[in-house]
Amino acid sequence: MIYRGLDFAVARGETVTILGASGSGKSVMLKMLIGLLDPDKGEILFDGQDVASMDDAGLYDVRRRIAYLFQGAALFDSLSVYENLAYGLREHLRLPEDQIAERVAKSLADVGLPGIEKTMPADLSGGMRKRVGIARAVAVRPEVLLYDEPTTGLDPISTEVINHLISETRTLYSVTSVVVTHDMASAFQISDRIAMIHKGFVIFQGTPDEIRKSDDPRVIDFIEGNAPEDDNVETLLRYGG
């Protein structure tokens, strides 16, 4: 069992960051939120409906309203940047091509990458791939954005750019954001609230200022970089951090 007490809520329009050591199940939680993994028990409520008990039609509707930014951006390497962004617009929104072109251009401009539609993913840096991933996510105008370790593997400048885009995306598109990370600096910068997972439980929920003032030794150790890695290696290998 990965979780023993995962109990928290995200309000519409806020950015909540989920912290925890590698292997604590942060990515598992994101996959459960959109029905890619089923919980053994309990409810996952989205807009009053239980995702955990939905059929395929219900899950399809939920996934149209939620965008997921994977760790590596998960771009289609055989498709140009334009085709990567256009894919979801054609499949889910069925927009005409002139509107797709406008939506792609605006989404790329919003992440600071105008005019790269013809570029192939292999020609992009890691930071640019993440930005294109954000552009692809917001192009379909989701209500919720799920970010899985958005700054992992990036240099400090690229990390700062991604953090700024997460905040800017919330302002531009009025989305609700759930961000999974182990990067405390990013969490402090982008979050309205922070939740920390430890050994299957949510042990802290609060604002960035409140977590800084926490007297819980587990929270203090994590903030100071002293927290031991979760020893659930099987979970990490099967599902991710």
CB 56 within 8 A of CB 34: no
Task: Kindly tell me if the per-residue pLDDT of 143 is higher than 60.
Answer: yes
Q: What is the predicted pLDDT for the residue at 100?
A: 95
Tell me the pLDDT tens digit for each residue of 167-188.
999 888 899 999 998 888 899 9
Burial pattern 63-74, b for ≥16 Cβ within 10 A else e, equals beebbbbbbebe
Predicted TM-score (pTM) of the model is 0.85
C-alpha dist (Å) from residue 202 to 2, 26, 27: 12, 11, 14
Using DSSP, state whether 40 is helix, strand or coil.
Answer: coil
Amino acid code (one letter) for 180:
V
Domains of the chain, with CATH numbers? 15-80+144-239 (3.40.50.300)
Q: Please name the residues in contact with 229: beta carbons below 8 A apart, sequence gap of 6 or more.
A: 21, 22, 23
Using DSSP, state whether 161 is helix, strand or coil.
Answer: helix
Q: Please name the residues in contact with 29: beta carbons below 8 A apart, sequence gap of 6 or more.
A: 3, 6, 18, 180, 197
Tell me the pLDDT tens digit for each residue of 114-140.
999 999 999 999 889 999 999 999 999
